[in-house]
């Protein structure tokens, strides 16, 4: 179920459409949200509901190590906890998906906050390193990820 939504709606397609300023961004994102909600929330909640209504009624409900039958109270709780944890994680991601959709509708801005995070951090580090030199026109290099002013700039 999760692999299917990932393969159909690859994030690279969405990013490509966004970078090209395509008019297909809004319909594509709307379709993505609808598929996401159906595949990752509706179906998952239906499966969790079936644990309470059908888990004990279909097949033998017993723990039989020799016969390979492990459907018992313990397996019910393990399955419920794992599927509920997955649902909680999906709700976390849905929050961010809806937030991006809200920003697009309200501010006409469709931006993935994760996309350029590392590049911005490097630019900020370099600019902070240049400011710490005190306005001198020295070279600012990187050593172990930190901006370091050269000896000529310190004098």
Quick: pLDDT tens for 87-137. Answer: 999 999 999 989 988 888 888 766 656 555 555 555 555 555 544 444 444
Considering only residues 151 and 45, tell me which one the structure prediction assigns the higher pLDDT. Answer: 45
Residue 50 has pLDDT above 80, yes or no: yes
Work out the pLDDT band at 25, boundaries 50, 70, 90: confident
From the number of C-beta atoms within 10 Å of its C-beta (0-12, 13-18, 19+), residue 83 rates as middle
The CA R_g of the chain, rounded to the nearest whole Å, is: 26
Strands of 5-153 (E only): list them: 62-64, 69-71, 140-143, 146-149
> Sign of dihedral through CA atoms 130, 131, 133, 134?
positive
Lowest mean pLDDT among 3-7, 31-35, 135-139: 135-139
Is 50 exceeded by the pLDDT of residue 148? no
Residue 38 tokens, joined: 């159906």
Per-residue model confidence (pLDDT) at position 105: 86
Band the pLDDT of 7: cuts 50, 70, 90. low
Closest CA to 112 of 39, 11, 6: 11
Average pLDDT over residues 51-61: 87
Percentage of residues in the chain having pLDDT higher than 70: 56
More reliable by pLDDT, 32 or 3: 32
Contact 51, 79 (CB under 8 A): yes
- 63 backbone dihedrals φ, ψ, rounded to 5°: -105, 110
pLDDT at 108: 74
What's the start-to-end Cα distance of the chain, in Å? 63
Is 127 in contact with 143 (CB distance < 8 Å)?
no
Q: Which residue has the higher pLDDT, 128 or 67?
A: 67
List phi, psi (to 5°) of 70.
Answer: -120, 20
Average pLDDT over residues 33-46: 92
The share of the chain scoring above pLDDT 90, in percent, equals: 25
């Amino acid at each position: 179920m999760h692999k299917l939504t990932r393969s159909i709606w690859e994030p690279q397609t969405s990013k490509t459409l966004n970078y090209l300023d395509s008019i297909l961004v809004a319909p594509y994102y709307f379709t993505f949200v609808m598929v996401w909600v159906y595949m990752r929330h509706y179906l998952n909640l239906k499966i969790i509901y079936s644990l309470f209504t059908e888990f004990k009624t279909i097949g033998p409900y017993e723990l039989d190590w020799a016969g390979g039958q492990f459907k018992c109270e313990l397996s019910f709780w393990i399955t419920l906890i794992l599927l509920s944890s997955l649902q909680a994680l999906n709700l976390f991601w849905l929050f961010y998906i809806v937030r991006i959709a809200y920003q697009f509708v309200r501010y006409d801005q469709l931006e993935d906050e994760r996309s350029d995070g590392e590049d911005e951090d490097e630019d900020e580090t370099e600019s902070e390193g240049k400011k710490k030199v005190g306005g001198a026109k020295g070279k600012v290099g990187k050593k172990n990820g930190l901006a370091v002013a050269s000896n000529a700039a310190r004098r």
